[in-house]
Structure 1
Amino acid sequence: MGSESESQANHVRFIGAVAGVGSGLTKVAVGHGFDTIKTRLQCSPPGTYKGAVDCLLKTVRNESIFALYKGATPPAVGWAAIDSLLLGSLHNYRLFLIREGMTEPVPGSDVKRLTLVGHGIAGLFAGWTSALLATPMEQLKVKLQLQLQRSTADRVYKGPIDCLRQVVRAHGVLGLWTGFTGSLAFRSNFLWMFGSFEALMRGFSKLDGTPYAISTPMANFLSGGLASFVYWIMAIPADNIKNRMMATPHNLPKPSFTQTARQILAEGGFRGYYRGLGPTLLRAFPVNASALWVYESLMRVLGAEKTRH
């Protein structure tokens, strides 16, 4: 019995990571083009683009439609791994907090569930955990996205492997973690993402038995999309700082978090911290709604519905 119980527990701990792979691949497929526009708006010199539409038109006109997917290789490989780590660790942090008693009774039932605060804390810890893997992946993505040359031969980085080599040659292996403090600040906002996702799911569950009731998959989709708005409104200042840190050419000294924050403030005032918010919000709903729908659906298919928090 003991070994069977332990095997079952290991299965539950592992499936969050497996479902996270599906979420990561969905994010890249749906959202990378939006992300390229956002990164260019955040990291290009002031005045380069009049706005998101101007950035899109110039990118396509000067570099072709495929330029929107520059830097897609690191996310295609990396986002699957990053979301596997993010959502796998999220699942396990939730289980840990439940074991530690951060629970409340489900109304009208003897079953206990993780509190909303617990969901937020689990999201915070999962965000910090994922920063270990996300930082080098995002740095390669940002550097590749900012290359405006149409011809590969004219670019500083010929591809993700060449970019990795040049960064390591200039700063050593730890150079791949340039922007790590920005990444930690940015990923702390998963507190808001998963706290608001759970709050929305509970709100939709109250519609059960009414004419406005919706299915659980649709609730997952809507909650993921709406929670992403909360997340990005809170996270966009740190995202600007993180991306500017990562965009620093490899042959220059690595910037600090405070130095980069001051530079953004000096160039654009407080509005500078919100550059790229427009395309980010346009991208946020379809990307996160789809990703969390895939994640939650896979969790049910893989047998984690009994651990729904």
Structure 2
Amino acid sequence: MSKTVKDLTAGTGGGILQVLVGQPFDIVKVRMQTAPKGTYSGMVQCATRILKNEGPLAFYKGTLSPLLGIGVCVSIQFAVLESTKRYFAAQNIQRGRGGPDGKEYTGGQLVLAGALAGIANGFVSGPVEHIRIRLQTQPSVNPPYAGPFDAVRKITGLYGIPGLFKGQTATFAREAIGYGAYFWAYESLMRWEMKRKNIPREEIPATKTVLFGAAAGYATDDFTPETGRKYQTTLHCIKTVLKTEGGSAFSRGLVPTLIRSPFANGATFLGFELASRWLYAGSEH
């Protein structure tokens, strides 16, 4: 099995854990972000209302889409990340830096590797998040979409394939910046632990992997023909939201996001590290 296939497989494991752990927090975040200003007084009220009106399974509404898609997203981002790190390691060895294995990466190398991983991930995460948010925010009574595949069929039927990629500019910007910082923080913490205890990566306890992953750790539009497009471009969306709802609108749903982050990100890296160690057992990573 090639290294790329191993990285893709390990990334899929991390992605599945991320979805299962983070989905309940995510639906609360999306509801708070997309509801009219003043609908919810806070995260607890939003979660309570969802539980009361829609039942506990509502917290996993739209899960099929991210479960299928996020697994692919995370597998892609880790595959690109690890491939880029191997490239930098080879370059470091040629230039006589980065230690005997070339893996003492500079901060710039880690940020660039993370940014490239984020951009690659964005080609899949954009459409996946788009469909997920449609399903999470649709009404329980007479919902317009029967599921993720029905949503894809109806959206592409009206707007073609480009319709699935609405908001992609914002997605790429977010993924590049976010994952650049995300992977830099995680890899730096892992490297620090390896140096501090003088141990190989494989001997770092799973609890530390979760902790470091935790430490390292979207926009919708109207799509119905009757109402038309609410936002023409990403910049138009930013200007409109700022004008009509103020700067605070951009941080709506921040609390559930911050609470979700350590659990989802810790689970992601735990899944990836454990699967990677198993797949690479007895071979050079």
Given the two structures, how large is their TM-score scaled by the length of structure 1?
A: 0.83
Counterpart amino acid of 2:190? M
Instruction: Give the alignment partner of residue 156 of structure 1, picking from 136, 144, 147.
Output: 144
2:248 match: 271
Q: Which of the numbers 181, 201, 217 marks the counterpart of 2:206?
A: 217
Partner of 1:227: 216
Conserved in 2, the CA contact under 8 Å of 1:103 and 1:115? no
Number of the residue aligned with 2:186:
197
**Aligned match of 1:112 in 87, 95, 102?**
102
Displacement after TM superposition at 1:83 (Å):
1.0
One-letter amino acid of the structure 2 residue matched with residue 160 of structure 1: P
1:93 and 1:248 map into 2 onto residues whose CA distance is 38
Cα deviation 1:72-109 (Å, max 9, x = unaligned):
11011111111111111111121222233388434xxx
Secondary structure in structure 2 of the residue aligned to 1:105? coil
Residue 62 of structure 2 is aligned to residue 71 of structure 1: yes
- For residues 24-43 of structure 1, what are the structure 2 equivalents within 5 Å? 24-43=15-34
Q: Which residue of 1 aligns with 2:90?
A: 99
Q: What is the alpha-carbon distance in structure 2 between the residues aligned to residue 46 and residue 94 of structure 1?
A: 44
The Cα of 1:55 is off from its aligned counterpart by 0.7
- Matched to 1:280, the amino acid is T
Relative to structure 1, the CA distance from residue 30 to residue 143 in structure 2 (aligned partners, 3 Å threshold; closer, same or farther) is same
Q: 2:22, 2:52 → 1: CA distance?
A: 20
Residues 183, 158 of structure 1: CA spacing in aligned structure 2 closer, same or farther, 3 A cutoff? same
Conserved? CA contact 1:12–1:304, under 8 Å: no
By how many angstroms is 1:306 displaced?
6.3
Structure 2: stretches of 5+ with no match in the other structure: none
* 1:160-171 equivalence runs, <5 A: 160-171=148-159
Residue 280 of structure 2: SS of its match in structure 1? Answer: coil
- Whichever residue aligns with residue 289 of structure 1, its letter is G
- The verdict on how the C-alpha distance between 1:115 and 1:283 changes in structure 2, with shifts beyond 3 A counting, is same
The letter for the 2-side match of 1:112 is G
Amino acid at match of 1:73: L
Matches within 5 A, 1:15-30: 15-30=6-21
Amino acid at match of 1:197: Y
Pairing partner for 1:290 from 245, 267, 270: 267
Are 1:249 and 2:212 counterparts? no
- Does the 8 Å contact 1:248/1:255 carry over to 2? no
The higher relative CO (CA closer than 8 Å, separation ≥ 6) is in: 2
For residues 108 and 224 of structure 2, the distance between their equivalents in structure 1, rounded to whole angstroms, comes to 40
Structure 1: give runs of 5+ residues left out of the alignment: 1-9, 229-238
Residue of structure 2 equivalent to 1:231: none
Tell me how far 1:39 sits from its aligned partner: 0.7
Instruction: Provide the rounded CA distance (Å) in 2 between the counterparts of 1:177 and 1:144.
Output: 16
Name the CA distance, whole Å, in 2 between partners of 1:32 and 1:111. 38
Q: In the alignment, residue 162 of structure 2 is paired with which amino acid? A: L
Q: Which stretch of the first structure deviates more once superposed, 35-44 or 95-104?
A: 95-104
> For 2:110 and 2:234, how far apart are their aligned partners in 1?
28
Displacement, 1:307?
5.6
> How far 1:166 sits from its partner (Å)?
1.4
- Percentage identity across paired residues of the two chains: 27
Amino acid paired to 2:98: P
Deviations 1:237-286 (A, max 9, x none): xx3xxx23xx4324323631101111221233222211111001111101
**How many pairs align?**
275
Q: Say whether residues 1:176 and 2:164 are aligned partners.
A: yes
Maintained 8 Å contact 2:110/2:187:
yes
- TM-score by length of structure 2 reads 0.89
Aligned-partner residue type, residue 43 of structure 2: A
